[in-house]
Amino acid sequence: MRDRDERRARLRERVNHWASRLRTEPKVVRIQRMTRKWGSCSLTGIITLAEDLTEQEPEFQDFVIAHELLHLRVRSHGKVFKALMSVHLPGWRQYGLNK
């Protein structure tokens, strides 16, 4: 159980790092079981991340975290969103979104 808590704490640290870097402020960050996707961003500013994201490589974690946090600024996956992803995470297109 302790290892799980440590992995979750490290993931939250990464979220804080990226939130600061992207100048976003999620209202709540949840880490919970998700079966179909790695993360989501609600219209009310709640970021939800899949619990098993803690087991993925750090670069992929960064991709998912940055992706969801950027949705606090840009709701769609349009040109502006993609440009911001490219600025902050060059090579982001190598990752897929679905589990």
Q: Which domain holds residue 18?
A: 2-90
Identify the pLDDT of residue 97: 57
The pTM for the full model equals 0.92
Q: What is the pLDDT of residues 16-36, one digit of tens each?
A: 999 999 999 999 999 999 999
List the CATH number of the domain containing 57.
3.30.2010.10
Q: Is residue 22 part of a domain?
A: yes
Handedness of CA 55, 60, 62, 63 (dihedral sign): negative
Structural domains in the chain (count)? 1
d(CA 90, CA 1): 35
Query: Which is it for the CA torsion 74, 77, 80, 82, positive or negative?
Result: positive
The tens digit of pLDDT for each residue in 26-78 reads 999 999 999 999 999 999 999 999 999 999 999 999 999 999 999 999 999 99
At 17, the amino acid letter reads H
